[in-house]
Amino acid sequence: MKIFKTIIIGAIIGIANIIPGVSGGTLAVSMGIYDDIIYAITHIFKDFKKSMKILLPIGTGAVIAIVGLSFAIEFLFEVYPLQTSMAFVGLILGGLPIIIKKVSGKKLGISHFITFLLFLTLVIGMTMLGGGSENAVVLNVNFVQVILLFGIGMLASATMVIPGVSGSMMLMLIGYYSPIISSITDFLKALVNFDVTGILNSIGILAPFGIGIIIGIFVMAKLIEMLLQKCETITYCGIIGLVIASPFAVLVGMKMTNVNTFSIIGGLVTFAIGFIISLKMSKE
């Protein structure tokens, strides 16, 4: 039962990571599994068996969701933008009571408030900077582009690990979101059609990006683990700021279409459903 629950959480996190404005890290925090993921990543060599017990079901859920549900989620955001966005807002805020418990009863000072405010402003500022559009770059397989893709992968993965910051939004801001998504689609098409040239070209783009993601996740997880060990309360104040600002990022990125009384009522219903699911799953 616990494995099934973790797979479901992994599916939600996986879908979140491919939607600009939605943070997989935030949902991991909201569902009470963030600390476990950070531990599993940073101790994968020291405690391989325990790490895989955590990462394998999460990874399985994420892959299943991305492959099987990405088109459905894209359709829902296109046809029912408010209802779908509010479901994610509910998922984010449903775990907030559990996160707040991490700092309740602790002595809080001005530094904690400033940290909270700083990270709250960071997400809102990045969202406003994004403006919901991008100038897509053209990807080619050459030495400079390979090095650049490696760096972009590290940047994207780092933002995926940080709660409240959307890795997809970061890619969109720098113009790499659509090209990377297109490269993944081209790779799958080439694989189905046994197009060797297409497969090799896609691998030339996706391999350095993927290696950058793996290294970036490990480096950022190590940094976050260190912060949680040395200054836990102030780190969680920052995380709370990121989480509270996340709904703003989700709603600003929403397409303002089909918004009427019916969609508003539907949005409130999906918010409540998401909130309850997150609240239930975040309880240990």
DSSP code per residue over 41-64: HHTTTTSHHHHHHHHHHHHHHHHH
What is the overall mean pLDDT for the chain?
Answer: 80
Could you tell me which residues come within 8 angstroms of residue 226 by beta carbon, excluding any fewer than 6 positions away? Answer: none
Q: Between 2 and 104, name the one with better pLDDT.
A: 104
The whole-number pLDDT of residue 114 equals: 93
The number of folded domains in the chain is 1
- Domain containing 178 equals 2-282
Of residues 43 and 176, which shows the higher confidence score?
A: 43
Q: Would you state the pLDDT for residue 272? A: 94
Structure confidence at residue 132 as a pLDDT band (50, 70, 90): very low
Distant-in-sequence, close-in-space partners of 42: CB < 8 Å, separation ≥ 6:
218, 221, 222, 225
Which is nearest to 14 in space by CA: 78, 76, 77, 57? 57
Mean pLDDT of 121-135: 64
- Kindly tell me the number of DSSP H helices and DSSP E strands found in the chain: 13, 0
> Cα 234 from chain centroid?
22
Q: What do you get for the CA distance between the two ends of the chain, in Å?
A: 13
Output 182-190 pairs: Cβ under 8 A, ≥24 positions apart.
183/139
Collect contacts of 226-235 with beta carbons under 8 A, ≥24 apart: 228/35, 228/38, 232/102, 233/102, 233/103, 233/106, 233/108, 233/112, 234/111, 234/112, 234/115
Residue 105's pLDDT band (cuts 50, 70, 90): confident
Over residues 24-37, mean pLDDT: 79
What span, in angstroms and rounded, lies between the C-alpha atoms of 126 and 114?
Answer: 18
Average pLDDT over residues 25-35: 78
Nearest residue to 242 (alpha-carbon basis) of 124, 88, 113:
124
pLDDT interval class at 119 (50, 70, 90): confident
What confidence score (pLDDT) does residue 269 get?
95
Structure confidence by residue, pLDDT tens digits, 181-237: 778 878 888 888 888 888 888 888 888 988 998 898 888 888 888 887 888 888 888
